[in-house]
Amino acid sequence: AVGGGHAVRHCVAVRVRRCVYAVQQQQQLQHVAGIYGVDWMRLWSLNPEVLHPDYLPWAERGREVMVGHLLSTGSRRDTAAGLAARMGMGLGQLRDLNYGIDTEGPLGLGQEVCVVPDSCRGSAKSIQGTILYRDKASVSAAVADGSFLPADGVLASPGAPQMPGAK
Which domain CATH number covers 24? 3.10.350.10
Tell me, yes or no, whether 123 lies in a domain: no
pLDDT tens-digit series, residues 15-48: 888 999 988 877 888 999 999 888 999 999 999 9
pLDDT tens-digit series, residues 64-118: 899 999 998 877 788 999 999 999 999 999 999 999 999 998 998 889 999 998 8
Same domain, 62 and 73: no
Same domain, 133 and 163: yes
Structural domain range at position 45: 20-66
The CA distance from 165 to 167, in Å, is: 7
Same domain, 111 and 100: yes
Number of separate domains in the chain: 3
> What does each C-alpha distance from 62 to 18, 24, 32 come to in angstroms?
16, 8, 15
Amino acid (one-letter) located at 63: R
Number of residues written out for the chain = 167
